C-alpha cells in the first residue's frame, strides 16, 4: 500500500517536472522566434521528450500558452505585492506639508517603476512574452492575459486610493489611471529590454517622469 502511494506521488512529481520543462522550452523558443512559430514538435524536442508525450500534459499549444500566462501571473502578483509594500514604506516617511503634494506622487511612482522594471529584468523572457501576447493571435492567451491584467489594475487602484487620501484631492478615474500606468510601464519595459538594455537607468527615470505627469494630470 505504501509503495503504491509512493509510486503515485513520484509519477505526479515527474509529470509536473515534464510540464515545467515544456513551459520553459516554449518560453525560450518564443524568445527566439515568437509564439506564433511554436509547434508541438519544436517544444517537445526542446524539452527533450517525444512529441507524442506532449499530449499527456497539454491538449494543444494554446493550453500550453495559458500555462505560460499562469506562470507569469504568479510572478506579477508577487511583484505587485512587493510594489505595495514599498509604496507603504515610502509613504510612511515624514513629509512636510509644503512637500506633501509632490512627495505623495513620488512615493507611489518611483517604487512602482523601480520594482516593476526589476521584476521585468529578472523574468525577461516570460514577462516580455506575457505583455507582447496581450494582442497576439491566440484568443485563449489574450483572454487569460486580460483577466490577469485586470487583477493587477485592481491591486494598483487600491494604492492610488491611498494617494487620493494622502493629498486630500480627487483623482480622475483611478481604475483608468492604474490601467494606463501598467500599459505605459509594460510597453516601455519591454522596449528597454529588447532594444536598449544598456540604457535602463535613463529609461527608468524617463518612465518615472511619464507616470508622474500622468498622475499630476489626473488630480483635480
Looking up residue 107, the CATH number of its domain turns out to be: 1.10.357.10
Task: Go through the chain and tell me how many residues it has.
Answer: 220
* CA 170 – CA 187 distance, rounded (Å): 27
| Helical segments of 92-199, H only | 100-122, 124-132, 139-167, 174-195
Mark whether 79 and 135 lie in a shared domain. yes
Distance of CA 109 to the CA centre of its chain: 17
Mark whether 48 and 69 lie in a shared domain. no
3-class DSSP state of 198: helix
Q: Among all chains, which residue has been given the C-alpha cell 483611478?
A: 174
74-131 pLDDT, tens digit each:
999 999 999 999 888 876 555 544 456 677 788 889 999 999 999 999 999 999 999 9
Per-residue confidence band for 39, with pLDDT thresholds at 50, 70 and 90: very high
Winning range, highest mean pLDDT, from 115-129, 150-164, 169-183: 115-129
* CA 68 – CA 63 distance, rounded (Å): 9
Distance of CA 134 to the CA centre of its chain: 11
Q: What is the mean pLDDT of residues 8-37?
A: 89
Q: What is the CATH number of the domain that holds 23?
A: 1.10.10.60
Amino acid at each position: 500500500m505504501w509503495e503504491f502511494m509512493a509510486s503515485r506521488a513520484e509519477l505526479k512529481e515527474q509529470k509536473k517536472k515534464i510540464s515545467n520543462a515544456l513551459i520553459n522550452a516554449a518560453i525560450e523558443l518564443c524568445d527566439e522566434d515568437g509564439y506564433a512559430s511554436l509547434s508541438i514538435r519544436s517544444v517537445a524536442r526542446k524539452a527533450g521528450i517525444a512529441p507524442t508525450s506532449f499530449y499527456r500534459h497539454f491538449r494543444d499549444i494554446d493550453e500550453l500558452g495559458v500555462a505560460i500566462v499562469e506562470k507569469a501571473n504568479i510572478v506579477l502578483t508577487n511583484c505587485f505585492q512587493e510594489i505595495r509594500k514599498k509604496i507603504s514604506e515610502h509613504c510612511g516617511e515624514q513629509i512636510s506639508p509644503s512637500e506633501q503634494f509632490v512627495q505623495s506622487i513620488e512615493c507611489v511612482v518611483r517604487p512602482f517603476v523601480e520594482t516593476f522594471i526589476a521584476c521585468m529584468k529578472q523574468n525577461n523572457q516570460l514577462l516580455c512574452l506575457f505583455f507582447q501576447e496581450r494582442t497576439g493571435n491566440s484568443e485563449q492567451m489574450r483572454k487569460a492575459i486580460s483577466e490577469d491584467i485586470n487583477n493587477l489594475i485592481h491591486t494598483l487602484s487600491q494604492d492610488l486610493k491611498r494617494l487620493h487620501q494622502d493629498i486630500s484631492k480627487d483623482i480622475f478615474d483611478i481604475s483608468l489611471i492604474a490601467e494606463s500606468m501598467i500599459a505605459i510601464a509594460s510597453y516601455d519595459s519591454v522596449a528597454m529590454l529588447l532594444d536598449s538594455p544598456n540604457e535602463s537607468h535613463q529609461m527608468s527615470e524617463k518612465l518615472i517622469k511619464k507616470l508622474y505627469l500622468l498622475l499630476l494630470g489626473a488630480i483635480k
